[in-house]
Structure 1
């Protein structure tokens, strides 16, 4: 596994691989890697000649400086984990200047309103930060395929919109949420939960499963009430929001239309840890 800490060296490597006709699969990360990230590389390995990872903690997508400060950093651990997979061929560790050559400021994007729903309501500018880094990484890595987890479904939809608007020559793939044994969506933030909180967190996925059972049987208003009641009964947990939204527009709906696909989105604060999850509704 090759490790690149210099933009020029890395882009030269990419050019050589392209000249040899290698098909490149890419999964960018912010480190603190876990099995959910590894599932992205496993998906990439099936469709590509080379699998490339990047690790970069993007400052502009953190609205709260405390979240940035608390975000786990252990690059040596991450590199060892990637090495042990035997899947990843190269890792890119860019500096801030490599992705923000004009200074640490996000570009301004219009994602046709996707950025204003759910996470966008409480995190202004967050998706501009995501878009800025992802666009620059895609331009430098030049992958044929790029892989993102469905846990951050809104981010996935925005990246698909970004690629479409900028006509970037890459296919975006969503990879199914990787879950812990109790159903909790695997996340770097889970490391901040104690054992009791981690076990209690299973109620988030259990609730989504119930929502899928209730879907099209009872009204959305009744589903919303039942979800609120579930979390009102949980100690040490606060329901930040629950929405059922159109998968294409991400707009919240209060009625089911047969020709549309819907997904349930939930954010729960467990102690001081903010956990997100979602589920496609059958």
Structure 2
């Protein structure tokens, strides 16, 4: 999964997803052998030569400037996250990264304090590969109550939310619109892959999910990217029934992010969370250094 290969694959996939009529490109009723735009059509829209764009898509050019990339992004109608991903792939292409395993991720002091403060709100701390580095009691009960609460404290046993979404039956049943959640997970992993092209752990995760889940493999091949910042999800919890939560990712830069699930005041969903909190209170193991990842 090199930056060079991924840049060309991303451009080709996104070009195929733009229909000529979407950008005012006349087709004169002709039969087209390719989905979406042809290379020369995209080059025309971006204001670059067809031969240059072809070399870029085929990985034969490493010199695309920020201005050219922005022009191509505009022609492809990319949003802010997709534009950032395009630039990340281009930078990875130029520096020719070597696959390596980064240092283990840890819960930062700030994330730990926030987790402690959110006692009544489901919250989990996720690493960039969606490993669960920590969770509070409510977060554990809402997202993965069937798993060992202390598992995040042991790096070799840490749950991974992407793996759970695609390979865990409980998590699949948890989301009423599972496909929407799955696409968000894949889109976020795509963004991370562009930002950290030399992350061997991420390569391994993608390889594992591609081999074990045809659904993941299909979504990954689509090359869509999505920043998981704020999204509503209807959940079907085995203890408290249906509830709609707003999942928000709180991040202040590099490092782990805190994901929280909130509900509207005086709503059935808020009542369901209150009921879940009462269930948690009746079955609580006090937090301590022994079950808090550091």
The question of a shared fold, defined as TM-score above 0.5 by the shorter chain, is answered with: no
**TM-score tier (shorter):** under 0.3
Q: TM-score, normalised by structure 1?
A: 0.24
Structure ranking higher on relative contact order (CA contacts 8 Å, 6+ apart): 2
More helix by proportion, 1 or 2? 2
Q: TM-score, normalised by structure 2?
A: 0.23
